[in-house]
């Protein structure tokens, strides 16, 4: 969120960019909007002009035909304008309601394409949430959406003010009749009128700006509250995972305390905004009343001096009434637009986040002999914004076709090693090579297509199973079924009511199939196998599996990964024995490497220590069991 005050030139630039942006999203919107504005204005003034003519006709005893003609023009014209307005408004509001939807789609595309490191940044995540909160939770709908509606209202009220100015000049011409005999009085009158007008409008503008500033301040204070409320209500109490914890640890009171407290803070902000808005409206009301009182006094004087007709009073009173209404609206909308600029900026700040990752152009060599080699050379890495090195002077080399197991304590840097290998992050120091070439030089997408990964925090979305495995709308059915069978899901496959078209989970489709955590993990493994990439990386792939399923994965591991290079991460040493190459990581350094049999002989090594500690628990289990 931008903390410093925006300069006037920045406010103009951001809003023009926003208006342009909306135009590109839905070009029709402005065309419909401007046509509608013209109709609104026509509708207002049509009534005033022809009503004034009609009143004069009646008072002056005009011929019946003239009265009928003017009545037909008044009513007929108004009806035609009204029907046209009704049809256009229908389409306009339909298009207008799409603005946020389309703007939101741009945000979604951006978030899926931005450098991965931004995804792990709290400030970027908060920015995304706040943009959403401003647009959806905030009653005023701040941001791009608000800009669209306010911009059109600004044009509408601006045109009305302009039209009214024209009438004011006309009125001034007529009023000269009253002061014909005393020109000095006329000058004084015009001077006083202008002074009063400027003072009143200045006061209105000041009150509007102060109220608007306070309203937006309250809006901003609500953003962290919205964030927390979303977390507690959507990501915590409503999920099955946390539901268990809530019940087991009887967290109900604790959570109710926090949620009620948040809502009460939110309500107090909403009430303050309501009060500020009422004060703003009251000021506008007072100013409008004083000013219209003044104008009615002038009009009355003019009628008494026969300067204007009674019909004209209808016209002027109507116009002045509209003028005041639109003047207040203009001030309100322009101050609102000013405050809203911050949220339009937030939207563009998000879209403008630059992808910093160097994306090379070298094509990845397609080798039939599968002779790929990976080397980490003196790689050091710390996460953005952190001073702690997670990997330090990390050097290893491995070749395709090998099975590399990476073991180490929790937090030792195993997953980070994979993130660097897959270029989700780049090293802070050192290089990573594929066949002797720095991986940054390869075409990014081609390089990524070398890897299939099952991350420990994998997610299976509620798409049909086949699409989930293939990660695409169109896919090869036999290949998808084969991957599912290899991952150990033959039984599930037989039970599916619609085969691969069966949606996973019943959240969005009652015909879906609910799968267990272990089955979901197998679907994630099938997804990795389907893609048939030279590298398969499994990060704690058996965490959700029962011992039998885990055993099945190990025993069939060679069959599963075939000639591919497999990197297998686990903190459980017993599950890595089947790999002929084991790498031990500790505090971000590669400290040992070898087969299980060679590592277990290094009595001073971490592997020996970890193995014995873990084995002790298994043995204890055996003894007691
Ligand atoms: P392992 O997979 O061995 O359990 P990780 O590679 O996940 O370990 O984490 C290594 C260290 O990096 C841990 O101290 C962890 O807290 C830290 N870490 C992981 N992800 C991030 C992140 N996005 N930002 C900052 N620190 C992180």
How much is the average pLDDT of 549-569? Answer: 77
Mean pLDDT score of the chain:
85
d(CA 99, CA 148): 8
Distance of CA 439 to the CA centre of its chain: 32
Checking if the pLDDT of 595 tops 70, the result is: yes
d(CA 585, CA 589): 5
How confident is the model over 247-269, as pLDDT tens digits? 888 899 999 999 999 999 999 99
Q: Ligand 1, residues 381, 387, 390: which to mutate, most atoms within 8 A of Cβ?
A: 390
pLDDT band at 137 (very low <50, low <70, confident <90, very high): low
For residue 380, report the distance from its CA to the centre of ligand 1, in Å: 14
pLDDT band at 220 (very low <50, low <70, confident <90, very high): confident
d(CA 469, CA 526): 6
Taking CA atoms only, the protein residue closest to ligand 1 atom 1 is 411
| Phi–psi pair at 575, nearest 5 degrees | -85, 5
With 0-12 / 13-18 / 19 or more C-beta atoms within 10 angstroms meaning exposed / middle / buried, residue 49 is middle
Q: In the structure encoding, which two tokens stand for residue 34, read together?
A: 């401007």
Residues with CB under 6 A from ligand 1: 120, 383, 386, 390, 408, 410-416
Checking if the pLDDT of 1 tops 50, the result is: no
How much is the average pLDDT of 506-529? Answer: 88
Q: What is the pLDDT of residue 590?
A: 93
Which residue is associated with the tokens 């000021």? 283
d(CA 589, CA 612): 21
How much is the average pLDDT of 387-412? Answer: 89
The three-state DSSP-derived secondary structure of 278-325 is HHHHHHHHHHHHHHHHHHHHHHHHHHHCCCCCHHHHHHHHHHHHHHHH
How confident is the model over 293-334, as pLDDT tens digits? 887 887 788 788 777 777 777 777 777 777 888 888 888 898
Atom of ligand 1 nearest to the CA of 417: 6
d(CA 545, CA 555): 14
Checking if the pLDDT of 515 tops 80, the result is: yes
Q: What percent of the chain has pLDDT over 70?
A: 93
d(CA 580, CA 557): 12
Taking CA atoms only, the protein residue closest to ligand 1 atom 7 is 415
Which residue is associated with the tokens 């686990």? 570
- Contact yes or no for 607/573 (Cβ under 8 A): yes
For residue 440, report the distance from its CA to the centre of ligand 1, in Å: 22
d(CA 72, CA 77): 8
Q: What is the pLDDT of residue 180?
A: 66
The DSSP secondary structure of 153-192, one letter per residue, reads HHHHHHHHHHHHHHHHHHHHHHHTTTTSS-HHHHHHHHHH
How much is the average pLDDT of 380-405? Answer: 90
For residue 417, report the distance from its CA to the centre of ligand 1, in Å: 10
Q: What is the pLDDT of residue 119?
A: 87
Q: Ligand 1, residues 119, 416, 453: which to mutate, most atoms within 8 A of Cβ?
A: 416
- Contact yes or no for 426/357 (Cβ under 8 A): yes
Taking CA atoms only, the protein residue closest to ligand 1 atom 15 is 411
Which residue is associated with the tokens 């070439």? 437
β pairing state of 589-594 and 581-586: antiparallel
Q: Which helix (H) or strand (E) holds 583?
A: strand 581-586
How much is the average pLDDT of 340-348? Answer: 93
Q: Which of 398, 380, 400 is nearest to 390 (CA)?
A: 380
For residue 528, report the distance from its CA to the centre of ligand 1, in Å: 23
Q: What is the pLDDT of residue 549?
A: 73
Q: What is the pLDDT of residue 392?
A: 94
Q: In the structure encoding, which two tokens stand for residue 180, read together?
A: 């014909």
Q: What is the pLDDT of residue 174?
A: 67
Taking CA atoms only, the protein residue closest to ligand 1 atom 23 is 120
How much is the average pLDDT of 516-538? Answer: 88
Q: What is the pLDDT of residue 184?
A: 74
Please enumerate in sequence order all residues whose Cβ is within 8 A of that of 334, keeping only pairs 6 or more positions apart, or say none. 154
Q: What is the pLDDT of residue 622?
A: 44
How confident is the model over 611-625, as pLDDT tens digits? 888 776 655 544 333
d(CA 35, CA 152): 11
Residue 138 DSSP symbol: S
Q: In the structure encoding, which two tokens stand for residue 369, read together?
A: 């002999």
pLDDT band at 178 (very low <50, low <70, confident <90, very high): low
- Contact yes or no for 394/379 (Cβ under 8 A): yes
d(CA 383, CA 425): 9
Other CB atoms within 10 Å distance of the CB of residue 354: 8
Taking CA atoms only, the protein residue closest to ligand 1 atom 11 is 411
Checking if the pLDDT of 465 tops 50, the result is: yes
Checking if the pLDDT of 2 tops 50, the result is: no
| Phi–psi pair at 161, nearest 5 degrees | -65, -40
Q: What is the pLDDT of residue 257?
A: 93
Atom of ligand 1 nearest to the CA of 419: 6
For residue 363, report the distance from its CA to the centre of ligand 1, in Å: 31
Give whichever of 47-61, 401-415, 431-445, 545-559 has the largest mean pLDDT.
431-445
Q: In the structure encoding, which two tokens stand for residue 91, read together?
A: 């389409």
For residue 390, report the distance from its CA to the centre of ligand 1, in Å: 7
How much is the average pLDDT of 353-371? Answer: 78
- Contact yes or no for 610/407 (Cβ under 8 A): yes
Q: What is the pLDDT of residue 623?
A: 39
SS3 for 432?
Answer: strand
For residue 424, report the distance from its CA to the centre of ligand 1, in Å: 13
How much is the average pLDDT of 571-585? Answer: 81
Checking if the pLDDT of 81 tops 80, the result is: yes
Checking if the pLDDT of 244 tops 70, the result is: yes
Please enumerate in sequence order all residues whose Cβ is within 8 A of that of 160, keeping only pairs 6 or more positions apart, or say none. 41, 44, 322, 323, 326
Taking CA atoms only, the protein residue closest to ligand 1 atom 22 is 383
Checking if the pLDDT of 484 tops 50, the result is: yes
Residue 449 DSSP symbol: T
For residue 516, report the distance from its CA to the centre of ligand 1, in Å: 27
Q: What percent of the chain has pLDDT over 90?
A: 31
d(CA 26, CA 302): 50
What angle do helix axes 122-136 and 310-351 make, rounded to 10 degrees?
160
Taking CA atoms only, the protein residue closest to ligand 1 atom 25 is 383
The DSSP secondary structure of 363-412, one letter per residue, reads PPP--TT---EEEEEEEEE--TT--S-SEEEEEEEEETT-EEEEE--TTS
For residue 389, report the distance from its CA to the centre of ligand 1, in Å: 10
The DSSP secondary structure of 246-266, one letter per residue, reads HHHTT-HHHHHHHHHHHHHHH
For residue 413, report the distance from its CA to the centre of ligand 1, in Å: 6
How confident is the model over 16-56, as pLDDT tens digits? 999 999 999 888 888 888 898 999 888 878 887 888 788 88
Per-position b or e across 157-187, b if 16+ CB within 10 A of its CB: bbbbbebbeebbeebeeebeebbeeeeeebe
β pairing state of 451-454 and 373-381: unpaired
Of the candidate ranges 43-57, 215-229, 477-491, the one whose mean pLDDT is the lowest: 43-57
- Contact yes or no for 497/513 (Cβ under 8 A): yes
Sign of CA dihedral 153, 158, 163, 169: positive
Q: Ligand 1, residues 379, 406, 415: which to mutate, most atoms within 8 A of Cβ?
A: 415
How much is the average pLDDT of 165-178? Answer: 68
For residue 566, report the distance from its CA to the centre of ligand 1, in Å: 22
Checking if the pLDDT of 501 tops 90, the result is: yes
Which residue is associated with the tokens 């401007």? 34
Taking CA atoms only, the protein residue closest to ligand 1 atom 19 is 416
For residue 569, report the distance from its CA to the centre of ligand 1, in Å: 14
The DSSP secondary structure of 474-521, one letter per residue, reads S--HHHHHHHHHHTT-HHHHHH-TTGGGSBBSSSS-TTSB---HHHHH
How confident is the model over 276-293, as pLDDT tens digits? 888 888 888 888 888 888
Which residue is associated with the tokens 């330090």? 392
Taking CA atoms only, the protein residue closest to ligand 1 atom 5 is 413
Other CB atoms within 10 Å distance of the CB of residue 479: 16
């Amino acid at each position: 969120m931008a903390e410093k005050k925006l300069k006037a030139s920045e406010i103009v630039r951001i809003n023009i960019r926003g208006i342009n942006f909306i135009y590109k999203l839905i070009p029709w919107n402005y065309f419909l909007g401007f046509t509608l504005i013209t109709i609104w204005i026509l509708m207002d003034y049509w009534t005033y002009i022809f009503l004034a003519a009609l009143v004069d006709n009646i008072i002056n005893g005009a011929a019946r035909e003239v009265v009928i003609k003017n009545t037909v023009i008044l009513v007929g014209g108004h009806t035609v304008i009204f029907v046209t307005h009704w049809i256009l408004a229908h389409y306009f509001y339909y298009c207008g309601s799409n603005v946020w939807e389309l703007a939101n789609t741009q945000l979604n595309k951006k978030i899926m394409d931005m450098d991965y490191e931004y995804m792990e940044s709290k400030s970027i995540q908060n920015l995304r949430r706040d943009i959403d909160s401003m647009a959806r939770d905030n009653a005023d709908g701040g941001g791009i959406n608000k800009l669209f509606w306010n911009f059109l209202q600004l044009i509408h009220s601006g045109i009305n003010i302009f039209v009214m100015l024209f009438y004011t000049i006309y009125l001034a011409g007529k009023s000269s009749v009253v002061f014909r005999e005393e020109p000095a009085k006329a000058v004084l009158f015009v001077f006083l009128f202008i002074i009063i007008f400027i003072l009143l409008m200045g006061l209105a503008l000041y009150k509007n700006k102060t109220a608007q500033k306070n309203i937006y301040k309250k809006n901003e204070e609500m953003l962290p509250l919205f964030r927390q409320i979303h977390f507690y209500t959507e990501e915590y109490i409503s999920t099955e995972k946390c539901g268990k914890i809530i019940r087991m640890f009887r967290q109900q009171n604790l959570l109710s305390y926090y949620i009620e407290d948040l809502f009460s803070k939110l309500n107090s902000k909403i009430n303050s905004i309501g009060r500020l808005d009422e004060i703003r409206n009251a000021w506008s009301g007072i100013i409008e009343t004083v000013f219209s009182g003044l104008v009615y006094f002038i009009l009355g004087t003019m009628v008494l001096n026969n300067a204007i007709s009674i019909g004209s009073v209808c016209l002027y009173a109507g116009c002045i009434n509209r003028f005041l209404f639109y003047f207040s609206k203009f001030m309100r909308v322009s101050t609102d637009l000013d405050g809203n600029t911050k949220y339009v900026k937030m939207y563009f700040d998000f879209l403008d986040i630059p992808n910093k990752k160097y994306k090379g152009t070298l094509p990845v060599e397609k080798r039939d002999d599968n002779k790929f080699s990976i080397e980490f050379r003196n790689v050091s890495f710390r996460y953005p914004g952190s001073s702690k090195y997670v990997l330090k002077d990390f050097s290893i080399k491995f070749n395709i076709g090998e099975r590399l197991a990476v073991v180490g304590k929790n937090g030792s840097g195993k997953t980070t090693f994979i993130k660097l290998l897959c270029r989700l992050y780049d090293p802070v120091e050192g290089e990573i090579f594929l066949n002797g070439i720095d991986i940054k030089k390869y075409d990014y997408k081609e390089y990524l297509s070398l890897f299939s990964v099952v991350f420990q925090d994998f997610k299976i979305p509620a798409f049909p199973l086949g699409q989930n495995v293939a990660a695409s709308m169109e896919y090869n059915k036999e290949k998808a079924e084969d991957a599912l069978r290899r991952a150990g899901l033959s039984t599930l496959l037989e039970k599916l009511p619609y085969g691969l078209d069966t949606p996973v989970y019943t959240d969005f489709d009652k015909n879906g199939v609910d799968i267990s955590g272990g089955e979901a993990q197998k679907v994630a493994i099938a997804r990795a196998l389907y893609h048939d990439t030279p590298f398969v990386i499994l990060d704690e792939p058996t965490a959700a599996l029962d011992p039998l399923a885990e055993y099945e994965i190990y025993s069939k591991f060679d069959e599963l990964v075939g000639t591919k290079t497999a990197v297998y991460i686990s903190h459980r040493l017993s599950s890595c024995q089947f790999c002929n190459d084991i790498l031990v990581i500790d505090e971000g350094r590669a400290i040992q490497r070898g087969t299980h049999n060679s590592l277990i002989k290094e009595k001073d090594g971490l592997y020996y220590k970890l193995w014995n500690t873990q084995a002790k628990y298994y043995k204890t289990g055996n003894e007691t069991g």
